Amino acid sequence: MATCAILDLHGLQALMDALRGRGYRVIGPTLRDGALVLADITSVEDLPRGIGDDQAAGHYRTRARADEALFGFAATAQSAKPALFPPDQQLWSGTRVGDGYDVSPREPEPAPVALLGIRGCDLAAITIHDTVLLGRGAIDAHYATRRDHAFLIAITCATPAGTCFCASMGTGPKPGEGADLTLTELLDPHRFLVETGTPAGEEVLAELASEPAAAADLAAAEAVVAGAVAQMGRQVQTDDLRDLLYASAESPRWNDVGERCLACTNCTMVCPTCFCTSVEDVSDLSGDVDERHRVWDSCFSMEYSRLHGGAVRTSTSARYRQWLTHKLAAWTDQFGMSGCVGCGRCITWCPAGIDLTAEVAALREDATHRETTPASAALAAPPGTGGARTRSGTTTGSATPPTPSTDR
C-alpha cells in the first residue's frame, strides 16, 4: 500500500540531494531560452518558481504566475523521451587497423537519471515505450539500460494548457501507475503531498524528514486534480477512434490537412511516444574511423517510406494520414493501447497550427456526413477539389492534388 507523506521545500531539496547522493543525474523542469524544458538541475532554485505557460495551436509563451508554484505550468516543450530514448544514439564505432577493422563497444551509457516532475501524460508515454521497446521479441538494449536505472518522480498537473487533453486519453492530470514517487504541489502553505509507487520510492522517502499526510492534505490534492480536469483545454471522443480512423481512409479531409501541413516533422519530434529511427554511418576524413548512429526519424519525411524504386508515401496528405492512423488506430492493434497520451505538444509546436483534436472531429463529421448522404450525392465533386470523386475515392481533374488512395 502506498505511503502518503508531506514534504516542504527543504524536503524537496533533500529529495534531490538524496537522489544525487545515489548517483542519479536529476533532470527536471527549468526555464531556458524562454521555454520550460527538462534539463539537469541540482537545486529547488533551478525550478521555474512562479512561472506558468500559455499554449495554443502553434503558440507557446511563458508567463508570470501570481503565486510561487514550482510546477505551475503544463507539458514542458520536450518530454522525458530524450532522457531515455536519445535523439542520437551511437551504436558502435570502428577503426581501421592494417587490413582489418577493430569494432569498439558502444559508448558507455551516462549516469542513471532521476526524472523529477514528469506529468501523467509523459509517464504514460514511458509505459508505452516500455511495451514497444522492451515488451516484444527484440529488446532495445540502449533503452533497457537507461530505463532500468531510471527513478521516476511524477507530479499531478494542476494547470493544464489549452492544448492538453490527457483527461480524454485517461493519462492525467493525476499520474497513473509506474512512478517511484508521485508529488502533488499544494500552496498556502507551500508543500508537496508525496505518494510512493514502488519499493525504491519507499526507500528514498524513508530517508527524508517528512510529515504524515493529514486528511486536509489529501482533500487539497483531490481539489488540485478536479481543478485541472475542469481546466482541460481540449477533449477527444475516444470510444470508437480506431474504427473511425480505419473507416476514414478515403476521407477528403486528408487532402485538406495535407495542404496545410508543412511536413516539418515537428509533431513527431516532440511527441513522447513516437519512436521511429533511422541509422546513419559517419566516418572521419581519412576513412579510418567509422561510427554508426541511431537517430530519430519521422514518418513525415519522404525518405522514411522509401522502398525499392522510391517513396511509398509521396504526398503530405498520405503522410499525415499514416501518422494519425497509426497513432490512433493501428497502434491499438500492434501494442494494445493508443499511441497518443494527450500531451498536446504536436498542437502547440506545429508551425501551421494543425490540431489533432480538430482533425479527429472533422473526420468524425465527415463520417457522419457519409452515413447520412445518399451514395449518388456522395459521388458529386466535393467543393474545391476540381474534379468528381469516384466510388474508390480517386479523383479526376487536372487541378486536383492526388488523394491518399492514389498516392500512398
Torsion of CA 341, 345, 351, 357, to 10 degrees: 40
Minimum CB separation of residue 327 from ligand SF4 in Å reads 5
Helix, strand or coil for residue 114?
strand
What kind and span of H or E run contains 97? strand 88-97
Q: Does 123 bind ligand SF4 (CB under 6 A)?
A: no
Ramachandran angles phi, psi of 201, nearest 5°:
-65, -40
Helices (H), 209-284: 215-231, 241-247, 253-260, 266-270
C-beta of 30 vs 348, nearer to ligand SF4: 348
**Polymer length in residues for the chain:** 408
Q: Does 157 bind ligand SF4 (CB under 6 A)?
A: no
Minimum CB separation of residue 57 from ligand SF4 in Å reads 9
Q: Are 83 and 38 in contact (CB under 8 A)?
A: yes
- The footprint of ligand SF4 on residues 281-300 (CB under 6 A) is 300
Size of the site for ligand SF4 (CB under 6 A): 25
C-beta of 142 vs 326, nearer to ligand SF4: 326
- What the block records as the C-alpha cell of 178 is 509506474
Minimum CB separation of residue 264 from ligand SF4 in Å reads 4
Q: How far is CA 255 from the centre of its chain?
A: 25
Ramachandran angles phi, psi of 182, nearest 5°:
-125, 130
Minimum CB separation of residue 369 from ligand SF4 in Å reads 23
Nearest to 173 by CA among 69, 182, 359: 182
Minimum CB separation of residue 39 from ligand SF4 in Å reads 20
Minimum CB separation of residue 246 from ligand SF4 in Å reads 18
Minimum CB separation of residue 284 from ligand SF4 in Å reads 34
CB atoms under 10 Å from CB of 278, counted, come to 13
Contact code string over 128-147 relative to ligand SF4, x by CB under 6 A: --------------------
Nearest to 205 by CA among 3, 381, 408: 3
Helix, strand or coil for residue 205?
helix
C-beta of 7 vs 270, nearer to ligand SF4: 270
Minimum CB separation of residue 270 from ligand SF4 in Å reads 6
Q: Does 263 bind ligand SF4 (CB under 6 A)?
A: yes
Q: Does 267 bind ligand SF4 (CB under 6 A)?
A: yes
Which one of the spans 10-18, 43-51, 177-185, 263-271 is the region binding ligand SF4 (CB under 6 A)?
Answer: 263-271
Q: Does 264 bind ligand SF4 (CB under 6 A)?
A: yes
C-beta of 133 vs 356, nearer to ligand SF4: 356
Q: Are 222 and 216 in contact (CB under 8 A)?
A: no
- Name the DSSP class of 135: S
Which residue from 204, 261, 318, 360 is in contact with ligand SF4, where contact means CB under 6 A?
261
C-beta of 5 vs 75, nearer to ligand SF4: 75
C-beta of 351 vs 397, nearer to ligand SF4: 351
| Cα separation, 48 vs 112, whole angstroms | 23
Cis peptide before 189 (omega within 30 of 0): yes
Q: Does 271 bind ligand SF4 (CB under 6 A)?
A: yes
The amino acid that residue 120 corresponds to is G
- Which residue has cell 479526376? 396
- The footprint of ligand SF4 on residues 324-383 (CB under 6 A) is 327, 340-346, 350-352, 354, 356
C-beta of 186 vs 270, nearer to ligand SF4: 270
First-to-final CA distance of the chain: 51
Minimum CB separation of residue 404 from ligand SF4 in Å reads 15
Residues that bind ligand SF4 (CB under 6 A): 261-267, 270-273, 300, 327, 340-346, 350-352, 354, 356
